[in-house]
């Protein structure tokens, strides 16, 4: 009888757990070990802001219940993987003895960038529950918060803190508009107005040059006092040392989740994938893609044929305090752009060669899921009607995604 395949997963985020789920489904007898260095079960990063703002309890931040782990028979190890010895097929741990594997998944996510600033000794970042805890402990209504970085995460944090009515929230952003890469400049301006009207301070095209005690000196000459300083200036892929592993800006995986090394797979924020249509490598950055990659890698590891479909890009969530959907490629150059701006609403659709190329919907996202299905379809004949919330996408796609049962 063949011995059961031993599966080892580094990283118990969404990519790792999605993989474990598939492995268990296709090979229930293969023992799964998951190594994570956060010391807590899989949780929702996107839910941390609600937790800071006290809309969600800690219980709600957890992504799965203990019963789920038990059902999958996952063995959890709390440790940091320093490196992988692919010859001996084992991972080298920081504290414990090496662990062997038959198939390995690297799902180690990303770590936040930190900009060195003169006079800054330590800085808070925003990625993990522990980071969120430190931010939460550090705030009170009298707190003056300074966030470096006006990208998606910085704005999300600002939005959560704004709900808690801080004394002062300031955002310093190097580019001269907020919300990249989701927003382009016009959309950024739209959101900027909203943020300013809530009384938040925005310093655009600016950066923190020096910190003296509790004062940040900006490049523009402005001096800002703060009690809490958080950096949110992007992330980079994080992974243990693996000799011979093909890496660009992140671990390169093929459409089956495999790396260039035998029996080594990768998924999630630590990877980049080939976008065939654009002939470039794209880093993985969003939850949905991490989950899909994890599932494909999990199937491949269990010996089931699975391929990552090149879906149009879809990211829907909350930016500052606005619900948005970013679908396909709304911001690329070329084509015709249709815009609709209304009180609290910003909708933009881009049509290239008569076909729907992308959409950015903020405030009113009506039709978003059916619009997602319509990427690539010809829409030239409808003119600017496509940008309106009541456009009948379901008639165009021939299926009613929004309410499949209707």
Ligand X SMILES: Cc1cc2nc3c(=O)[nH]c(=O)nc-3n(C[C@H](O)[C@H](O)[C@H](O)COP(=O)(O)OP(=O)(O)OC[C@H]3O[C@@H](n4cnc5c(N)ncnc54)[C@H](O)[C@@H]3O)c2cc1C
> Please, which residue, 42 or 338, has the CB nearer to ligand X?
42
Binding region for other proteins (CB under 8 A) out of 39-47, 195-203, 265-273, 330-338: 39-47
DSSP assignment of 129-179 equals HHHHHHHHHH--TT-EEEEE--SHHHHHHHHHHHHT--SEEEEEESSSSSS
The answer to whether 226 contacts ligand X (rule: CB under 6 A) is: no
| Partner whose binding site includes residue 269, from ligand X, other proteins, none (CB under 5 to 8 Å by kind) | ligand X
- Does 120 help bind other proteins (rule: CB under 8 A)? no
Beta-carbon contacts of 303 under 8 Å, excluding residues fewer than 6 positions away, are 26, 27
- Among 165, 121, 162, 147, which Cα is nearest to 224's? 147
Residue 89 interacts with other proteins (CB under 8 A): yes or no: no
Give the contacts of 96 (CB within 8 A, at least 6 positions apart): 77, 79
Identified binder of other proteins from the candidate list 6, 26, 64, 274, rule CB under 8 A? 64
Site stretch for other proteins (CB under 8 A), options 50-58, 120-128, 167-175, 273-281: 50-58
16 touches which of ligand X, other proteins, none (CB within 5 to 8 A by kind)? ligand X
Biggest CA-to-CA distance, the chain? 73
**Residue from 10, 32, 200, 362 binding ligand X (CB under 6 A):** 10
Of 139, 183, 253, 325, the one binding other proteins by CB under 8 A = 325
Using the 8-state DSSP alphabet, how is residue 44 labeled?
A: -
Of the candidate residues 240, 328, 330, 363, the single one contacting ligand X (CB under 6 A): 240
Instruction: Find the length of the chain.
Output: 406
In sequence order, the β-bridge partners of residue 78 are 36
C-alpha closest to that of 231 among 342, 336, 115: 115
Q: Which of 2, 67, 165, 213 binds other proteins (CB under 8 A)?
A: 67
Q: How many helices (H) and strands (E) does the chain have?
A: 10, 26
**308 contacts ligand X (rule: CB under 6 A):** no
- Per rule CB under 8 A, is residue 2 in the interface with other proteins? no
Per CB under 8 A, does 291 bind other proteins? yes
DSSP, collapsed to helix, strand or coil, labels residue 36 as strand
Which of 217, 256, 323, 388 is close enough to bind other proteins by CB under 8 A? 323
Binding-site partner at residue 159 among ligand X, other proteins, none, CB < 5 to 8 Å by type: none
Q: Indicate which of other proteins, ligand X, none lies near residue 126 (CB less than 5 to 8 Å, by partner kind).
A: ligand X
Half-sphere exposure of 149 (CA within 13 A, CB side): 21
> Alpha-carbon distance 211 to 203, whole Å?
16
Q: Is the CB of residue 251 less than 8 Å from the CB of residue 106? A: yes
DSSP output for 227-264: SEEEE---EEE---B-TT--BSSSEEE-TTSB-SSTTE
Tokens at 150, concatenated: 């006006």
Considering only residues 19-38, where is the footprint of other proteins by CB under 8 A?
A: 21
Give how many residues touch other proteins by CB under 8 A.
40
Query: Among ligand X, other proteins, none, what binds residue 240 when CB lies within 5 to 8 Å by partner kind?
Result: ligand X
Q: In whole angstroms, how close is the CB of 14 to ligand X at the nearest point?
A: 4
Shortest distance, position 55 Cβ to other proteins, whole Å: 8
> Is 149 an interacting residue with respect to ligand X (CB under 6 A)?
no
CA atoms within 13 A on the CB side of 63: 19
Binding site for ligand X (CB under 6 A): 10-16, 35-38, 45-46, 48, 80-81, 107-110, 126-127, 153, 156, 238, 240, 268-269, 285-288, 290, 315, 317
Binding stretches for other proteins (CB under 8 A): 18, 21, 43-44, 46-47, 50, 55-56, 59-65, 67-68, 70-72, 287-288, 291-292, 295, 314, 316-318, 323, 325, 365, 368-369, 400, 403-406
């Amino acid at each position: 009888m063949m011995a059961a395949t031993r599966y080892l997963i580094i990283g118990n985020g969404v990519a790792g757990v999605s993989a474990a789920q598939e492995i268990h489904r296709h090979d229930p007898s293969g023992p799964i070990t998951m190594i994570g260095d956060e010391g807590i079960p899989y949780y929702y990063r996107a839910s941390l802001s609600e937790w800071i703002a006290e809309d969600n309890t800690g219980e709600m931040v957890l992504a799965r219940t203990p019963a789920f782990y038990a059902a999958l028979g996952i063995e959890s190890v709390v440790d940091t993987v320093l490196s992988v010895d692919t010859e001996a097929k084992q991972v080298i741990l920081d504290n414990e003895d090496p662990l062997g594997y038959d198939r390995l998944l690297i799902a180690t996510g990303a770590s936040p960038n930190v900009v060195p600033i003169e006079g800054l000794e330590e800085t808070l970042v925003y990625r993990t529950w522990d980071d969120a805890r430190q931010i939460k402990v550090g705030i009170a209504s009298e707190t003056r918060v300074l966030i470096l970085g006006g990208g998606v995460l910085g704005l999300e944090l600002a939005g959560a803190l704004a709900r808690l009515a801080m004394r002062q929230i300031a955002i310093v952003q190097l580019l001269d508009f907020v919300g990249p890469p989701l927003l382009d400049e016009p959309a950024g301006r739209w959101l900027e107005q909203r943020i300013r009207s809530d009384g938040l301070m925005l310093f655009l095209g600016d950066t923190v040059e020096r910190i003296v005690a509790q004062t940040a000196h900006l490049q523009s000459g402005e001096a800002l006092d703060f009690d809490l300083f958080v950096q949110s200036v992007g992330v980079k892929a994080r992974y243990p040392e693996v000799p011979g592993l093909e890496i660009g800006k992140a671990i390169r995986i093929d459409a089956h989740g495999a790396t260039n090394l035998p029996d080594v797979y990768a998924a999630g924020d630590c990877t980049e994938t080939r976008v065939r249509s654009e002939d470039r490598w794209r880093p993985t950055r969003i939850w949905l893609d991490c989950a899909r990659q994890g599932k494909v890698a999990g199937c491949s590891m269990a010996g089931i044929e699975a391929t990552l479909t090149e879906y149009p890009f879809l990211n829907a969530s909350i930016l500052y305090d606005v619900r948005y959907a970013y679908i396909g490629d709304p911001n690329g150059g070329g084509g015709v752009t249709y815009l609709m701006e209304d009180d609290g609403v910003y909708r933009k659709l881009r049509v290239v060669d008569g076909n729907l190329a992308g959409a950015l919907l903020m405030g009113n996202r009506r039709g978003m899921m059916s619009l997602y299905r319509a990427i690539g379809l010809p829409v030239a004949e409808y003119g600017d009607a496509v940008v309106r919330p009541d456009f009948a996408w379901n008639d165009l796609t021939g299926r009613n995604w929004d309410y499949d049962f209707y």
